[in-house]
Structure 1
Amino acid sequence: MVSVGIIGLGAIGERLLKQFILHPKTMVAAICDSNTDRLSKIKAELEEVELYDEYKDLLANPSIDLVYVAVPPKFHHQIVLDAANAGKHVLCEKPLANSYHEAKEMLEAVEHAGVVHAINLPLAYSDAVNELKNRVTGKTIGEVKRIELKMHFPTWPRAWQQNPWIAGREQGGFIREITPHYLQLILDIFGDAKNIKTYINYPSNLTDCETSIIARMELQNGVPLLIDGLSGIGKKEEISFKIYGDKGTIALKNWSQLEGEMYDKAPFAIEVPENNEHRDLISEIIKGMNGQAARLVTFKEGFNIQKVLEQLLQSE
């Protein structure tokens, strides 16, 4: 049984908390959060869990095997360095860090410590994404001509994300929050990105995050990738990742809906077969901790994502 310590209990942290509780091979042993009201609520539900308001005290607990870092991005760096120094395996929220240099130090720290390290990017375990990858690499849509990522929001932050940091320019915004999911997929299939050009609009308030982005980059094989992000518009939220080939087009819409299109057919839903390997993040981390081959989005991938993300944030 893997003993898990969780640092930070925002909306995403609580979501993964439930998954750790339900998983047959993990036990949530300790939780750290600065919100005492939230800790009191957790204590009422999980009586056996140790509660902390200082993360270093949690890291000093010798029973903890795996630490899940779910605090806002600017706090990832120091907590991960301390966790690695304490010999704890680490699962970190995305983006990996708040800067290129922080990400580099975090990667070096976990590799030096010899601990298992992973980032919470659920698309990597999605059956729809697995089918998309198979169709692209199998050339079902032919040679790829262009890739487009669209992120449109009626409001940002979204209703369930109302907190100061995710609305702020320092570490929030939809570029940092949404694009890492798709950058992981892009870099995994197509390799590194280059020639990144970005145009970002910000509100007059210097602390608020972006309201729009138009970006272009080239992938390793020269295929162009276009990014179109916009918030504060009168339409339903839409997140679309679309790959255009010379024989057809495939799109991942709103995270899980796979859609195809051909020149002689109207857009059609693509049936997604279940992945019999049943890969999920927690099970893969446990495999890694047991010395088995595991499909994890490691800090190395996270560092490569961070490099592209930092360039995206540098507006022309």
Structure 2
Amino acid sequence: MTRAVQVGVIGLGAIGQSLLKVFTAHPDVQVAAVCDVNADLAAQTAGPLGASAWTDDRELLNGADLDLVYVAVPPQHHASIALEVLRAGRHLLCEKPLALTLNEAQTMHRAAQAAGVIHALNLPLHADPGIDTFHRLVRDGSLGAVRRAELNLVFPQWPRPWQHNPWIGGRAQGGPIREVGPHLFHVILTALGPVTRVWANAAYPAEDAAACETAALGLLELEGGVQVVVSCLTNVPRPEQVSLTVYGTAGTAGLVNWAVPVAAVGAGPLEAVPVDTPRTAGGTRLVGALVSRVRGGPGDLVDFGMGVRIQAVLEAWERSTASGTWVDTVPA
């Protein structure tokens, strides 16, 4: 392929607009079409790009010559739109979580495999040098036997100030576990291995039955019995915290501020671990890998198979919250 990769973007909210800027900055990408139910927003976004503007994703797929489609709509619409994209035979990038339910995620994965196209999930922590360093710390034997891990999520406000929209604070599609959880569940799955069962409990605002959780506590049990303690708290007067700590018999390794690796030997203090590879923005890594893959080259992407594994953890979390019991994850 010698022409620019022709990209269509469906969904022009905050996340869609953010990655749209990365696509437009890439020298080998042409954003050829954009789509949103808000016709004015679609037109305003398309104008400076010389792109076509649409309000119906099916009309976009029928009317625009595209190589790759980025689906950046709310989770409840991922499956229906993604399946249309796959039926059209286009390469596909989808926002996380992959779907609203595990069944939808599995259907999307099967359809992507059958279509024979590139399929990827937008997880900006993937291939981050800090995350790669954390993986090395967990795997190089310096921790000894892993005994436990802890994931801590604290948000002074939810939704976060930049994140306000009609669904992100709702129980049906939003909430910090569903929104932030996939990023760290992906790290846990790749660094520590499969999650076999989940126990979870959540607190919701008494005055708003439609609102998402304000607090959650749970356990992810890994193969071999090691447990990951998950604590989530919102709307408290503390700075945002996203951290993951792995405790071993000989040392400790962790991530602070999302992707900064730290480690300790024995009883020593946790200290920052140098990262050798220069850090680039997650969106830049993702778009570069997508362009390479579309053109038949290499590219490190999170495919829909991993999306299904993450979705299985999310669904088990939600089922456990509802039942108050341990829930097995369904094998991907």
TM superposition score normalised by structure 2: 0.90
1:193–1:264 CA distance, 2 compared to 1 (3 A): closer
Instruction: Give, in angstroms, the shift of residue 277 of structure 1.
Output: 11
Q: Distance in 2 between matches of 1:131 and 1:9?
A: 34
The equivalent residue for 1:199 is 201
Q: Distance in 2 between matches of 1:276 and 1:73?
A: 29
Question: Is 1:234 the counterpart of 2:237 in the alignment?
Answer: yes
1:150–1:52 CA distance, 2 compared to 1 (3 A): same
Equivalences for 1:1-316 in 2 at 5 Å? 1-46=4-49, 48-204=50-206, 205-274=208-277, 280-314=285-319, 315=321, 316=324
1:208–1:179 CA distance, 2 compared to 1 (3 A): same
TM superposition score normalised by structure 1: 0.94
Percentage identity across aligned positions? 39
C-alpha distance after superposition, 1:134-160 (max 9, x if no partner): 111112322221111111111110101
Provide the secondary structure at the position in 2 that maps to 1:13.
helix
Instruction: Give, in angstroms, the shift of residue 24 of structure 1.
Output: 1.9
8 Å contact kept, 1:190–1:221: no
Q: How many residues align?
A: 315
8 Å contact kept, 1:103–1:306: yes
C-alpha distance after superposition, 1:30-66 (max 9, x if no partner): 10012233224324432x1111111111111352000
C-alpha distance after superposition, 1:211-239 (max 9, x if no partner): 11110121123221110001121211111
Structure 1: runs of 5+ lacking an equivalent: none
Structure 2: runs of 5+ lacking an equivalent: 325-332
Provide the secondary structure at the position in 2 that maps to 1:164.
coil
C-alpha distance after superposition, 1:97-156 (max 9, x if no partner): 000111111111111111110000011121100111111111232222111111111111
8 Å contact kept, 2:9–2:70: yes
